[in-house]
Structure 1
Amino acid sequence: MTGQVITIDHPLVQHKLSLMRRVETTTAEFRALMREISLLMAYEVTRDLPLKPEPIQTPMASMLAPMLAAEKKLVLVSIMRAGQGLLEGMLELIPAARVGHIGLYRDPHTLIPIEYYFKVPTDIEDRDVLVVDPMLATGHSATAAVLRLRQTCPKSIRFVCLVAAPEGIQHFHEQHPDVPIYTAAVDEGLDEHGYILPGLGDAGDRLFGTR
């Protein structure tokens, strides 16, 4: 199966991503933009959620109104730590979603991800999962996270990021060709240290002001 990549090209998403890329953007601005862009991306990623008619009473009359059929069946899984920035905005739009966390850090020499934390809802096999991480660079962390999630047998998995590199997309879909990638941009490629060019720098450091 050929891996699917969906680029979210809404003008507001593209504008806010450009603001995030600028080197002069402050930590506070970066954090606010991350929350805003994640909310907008969640709108696009969830546009095919099923609806069901439910009876409600308006001030004028009763009616069958379209309501989300599976809001409580969604799980947002953040790849720590930078994934927290995307998670917060998405939760504003989907407050009933459950939340999971996967803690991974990248070995600076091998670039291989090492897991240090994993916690997801116990009934995840009945749920659709959105895995969130701002950057898909080498693809190793995303690939490892989804592989770990597969052990819990979720109903479906989608991966959501702000910026992806072609190398990361290729590596990810070699391992998970059935998992669609939603991103705001596919950039040129990686530098010798595994960072995306032009990218936006280290999303975790910019989000938390640690560099």
Structure 2
Amino acid sequence: MPDIAMPPSLTVIRHPLVQHKLTLLRQKQTSTGEFRRLAREISLLMAYELTRDLPLESLAIETPLEPMQAPILSGKKLCIVSILRAGDGILEGMLDLVPSARVGHIGLYRDPDTLVPVEYYLKLPEDVADRLVIVVDPMLATGHSAAAALTRLKEAGAEQLRFACLLAAPEGVEVLTGAHPEVPVFTCSVDRELDEHAYIRPGLGDAGDRLYGTK
């Protein structure tokens, strides 16, 4: 990770399995199918970290032997919002862990000249304001798309927000946490820098292309 001050809202997930799988994900010889599988496995492990502080309540149940009071998730559950299209590569793994979560999608593309995000699609659950919303996108590069997505979700009523990505650049972390300092950000690595084309270095290439074999 770069030797710079990181904001308190940032969490880098250093679990050995996450870091091992991330290394395999980065390698250029990793096939499309293997890349997709690894991204799904990492996102499941990330979901464990993202949800470790969910509130619990007590429920009266019966085991095969006797009644008991047992912990269960309290209130409305999660909503996972994927930033299209690459966010779906993280979404599926998180749904493996929390299959009852609601799902939303926001479509943003980066204008190649201005690098400004342009929204072209938004579909959210009606009760998004009542749920913890986890926004997912594999790469936090410039940070502009992620910041725009969080702004749009706030406009839609979301109050409990978290952002998760596989990789981040210091520039993206600065933009996102500057625009939304109260939103926790989770990543597996903060890489060195962005290059002149706004790619994360050393990175892993274009996550969408590698997930879907489109390049």
Residue 45 in 1 paired to residue 56 in 2? no
- Give the secondary structure class of the aligned counterpart of 2:203: coil
TM-score (norm 1): 0.97
**Counterpart of 1:206?**
210
**Counterpart of 2:109?**
105
**Counterpart of 2:126?**
122
**Counterpart of 1:141?**
145
**Counterpart of 1:13?**
18
Structure-2 separation of matches of 1:45 and 1:143: 19
Structure-1 separation of matches of 2:154 and 2:180: 10
- Offset at residue 155 of structure 1 (A): 2.9
**Counterpart of 1:81?**
85
Deviating 4+ runs (over 3 angstroms): none
- Offset at residue 174 of structure 1 (A): 1.4
Count the aligned residue pairs.
Answer: 209
Identity percentage over the alignment? 63
Structure-2 separation of matches of 1:206 and 1:108: 20
Gaps of 5+ in 1: none
Gaps of 5+ in 2: 1-6
**Counterpart of 1:22?**
27
Structure-2 separation of matches of 1:114 and 1:155: 23
Structure-1 separation of matches of 2:118 and 2:132: 25
- Offset at residue 3 of structure 1 (A): 5.3
Of 53, 59, 82 in structure 2, the residue corresponding to residue 54 of structure 1 is 59
Write out per-residue CA displacement over residues 103-151 of structure 1, whole angstroms, 9 at most, x where no aligned residue.
0111112111111100101121111100000000000110110011010
TM-score (norm 2): 0.95
- Offset at residue 153 of structure 1 (A): 1.8
